Chain A
Amino acid sequence: MVVTNMLYNLGRYVNLLRDAFSRPEKFSMYYKETMRQMDAIGVGSVFIVLLISVFIGMVTAVQFADQLGDSFVPSYYIGYIVRDITIIEMAPTITCLVLAGKVGSNLAAEIGGMRQKEHIDAMEIMGVNTAAYLIMPKIIAAVVVIPMLVAISAFVSIIGGYISTVLPGTISHTEYVLGLRSFFVPRYVFMMFVKAAVFAFLLTSVSCYMGYYVKGGSIELGQASTNAVVVSDVLILVFDFLIALLLT
């Protein structure tokens, strides 16, 4: 039963994506909607991303400094570890998990609300390809904007690490910067952007799918919103592992 249900949802999800990426009726309308979504997803999420990122950087640096203690490992490694852990894992994964909660639930509720208020039926009757008009701009906007947010997140986390270790005097400015400049592997930045783009696609498409097929009333809308977050989070973690396997 569970397997049948999963296959049914997977098939419906693939069909919805196929419809979502069909030819737009009018390019200018889709462009306008994509810009609007970029603003909503990107600008609307900057504050929460900054807040989380600075704390992630601070905590990572403090914890690692504590682990080092009086060991023989040079203290400039704090900068190195904060940089790599942020770029490889924390910035893309944590940011996207948070965005799955913020943006994903919002998208599912927005599209689900439109379904319940017959807005989607109204558009269908006008001749609009609703899957394309409502979903494609959101996915494109997210895939463009979320990697930018992730890059900002990585940068701010590194600053967070600096604040929590250099300012109290745990290590010096020179040591932290030396750590940041040591053993740099450019491929990790590429991996960060790949992860960000894949996670962005997953969290928007899954959330839109949950909202698009919502039935019933407010309870079902709430469930769809919750499912959007839970399924997106699980998929982000699974794909995080898969990308790590493929690109490491």
Chain B
Amino acid sequence: MIRTENIVKSFGDNDVLKGITTEFYAGKPNLIIGSSGAGKTVLLKLLIGLFQPTSGKVYYDDIDLFSLSDERLREIRMKVGMLFQGNALFDSMTVGENIRFPMDMFTKMTLKEKEKRVDECLEMVNMEGVNDRYPSEVSGGMQKRVGIARAMVLEPKYLFCDEPNSGLDPKTSILIDELICDLTTRNNITTVINTHDMNSVMGIGDNIVLLKDGNLVWQGDKTQVLESKSSVLQDFIFASPFLRRLREDALKQRHAQE
């Protein structure tokens, strides 16, 4: 579990996060949503420790992330996997070498053991047999899956995904969501996903945190979204007239069933 306590982050005079207190649970996908500029990416980078908060604390289970020495922080980070918006795959390495990199750096496994683990991870994301291809030689959706495989290679306790669906078609987006959700529940990982994608919210949102102007304005799960009276949530998720109509229809249907 990851817990934040009154996180404030300012860049000069600009307060980007204004006291966020929340929890992200293990074994379920935790979604951070909000419009552009709401502070999602800053919160995610704070959770990972790439930014220092102006004030407040981040706890990994009971460990205060920002009280750790650089060396201890690196130890914690070895339990963290991250899927970047742009994948951040190393262009000069093949898919197999990308996935193997964390093992090369931190383990004493033999080459054979590492290659076996690479194959397992590629199988996990349904990408067998692409070890020798370069990232530029596979599609965007495949790159995402390679990114997930690399994030999972050291069996992380915490997984962070920054906009995992950006640039993907709806069908591939759903596949990526299902994959992340499956890995999260199967391995009891604390997964935090930063997303704009409403399919993700309604599909895998077991714990949703809505940010607006640096404030946490709503928290709940996907089953509570339809019924929620929060105008900020409704304006954000059901932004188009088409989606608003869909919501009304869904609510009518639900009330009729009741």
Residue positions of A touching B, CB distance < 8 A: 25-26, 29, 117-119, 121-122, 124-129
B134 to chain A, nearest CB (A): 14
Cα(A117)–Cα(B135), bound, Å = 13
B200 to chain A, nearest CB (A): 21
> Which of chain A's residues have a CB closer than 8 A to the CB of B76?
127
Name the contact of B77 in the complex, choosing from A26, A118, A126 (C-beta under 8 A).
Answer: A126
Q: Are A124 and B105 in contact (CB under 8 A)?
A: no
> Which of chain A's residues have a CB closer than 8 A to the CB of B160?
125
**Any chain A CB within 8 A of the CB of B50?**
yes
Q: Are A126 and B104 in contact (CB under 8 A)?
A: no
**Any chain A CB within 8 A of the CB of B84?**
yes
Given known A-B contacts A25-B106, A29-B104, A117-B88, A122 and B82 have beta carbons under 8 A apart: yes
Cα(A46)–Cα(B241), bound, Å = 65
Cα(A129)–Cα(B75), bound, Å = 11
Q: Are A26 and B80 in contact (CB under 8 A)?
A: no
**Any chain A CB within 8 A of the CB of B78?**
yes
Name the contact of B75 in the complex, choosing from A29, A118, A119, A127 (C-beta under 8 A).
Answer: A127
Given known A-B contacts A127-B78, A128-B105, A118 and B48 have beta carbons under 8 A apart: no
Shortest Cβ distance from B81 into A: residue: A125
Name the contact of A127 in the complex, choosing from B50, B85, B104, B106 (C-beta under 8 A).
Answer: B106
Cα(A25)–Cα(B88), bound, Å = 21
Given known A-B contacts A127-B75, A127-B78, A129-B74, A122 and B88 have beta carbons under 8 A apart: yes
A231 to chain B, nearest CB (A): 27
A126-B102, A127-B78 are known; give 8 further A-B pairs, CB within 8 A: A117-B88, A121-B88, A124-B77, A125-B77, A125-B82, A126-B77, A127-B74, A127-B76
> Which of chain B's residues have a CB closer than 8 A to the CB of A127?
74-78, 80, 105-106
> Which of chain A's residues have a CB closer than 8 A to the CB of B102?
126
Name the contact of B105 in the complex, choosing from A118, A119, A125, A126 (C-beta under 8 A).
Answer: A126
**Any chain A CB within 8 A of the CB of B167?**
no
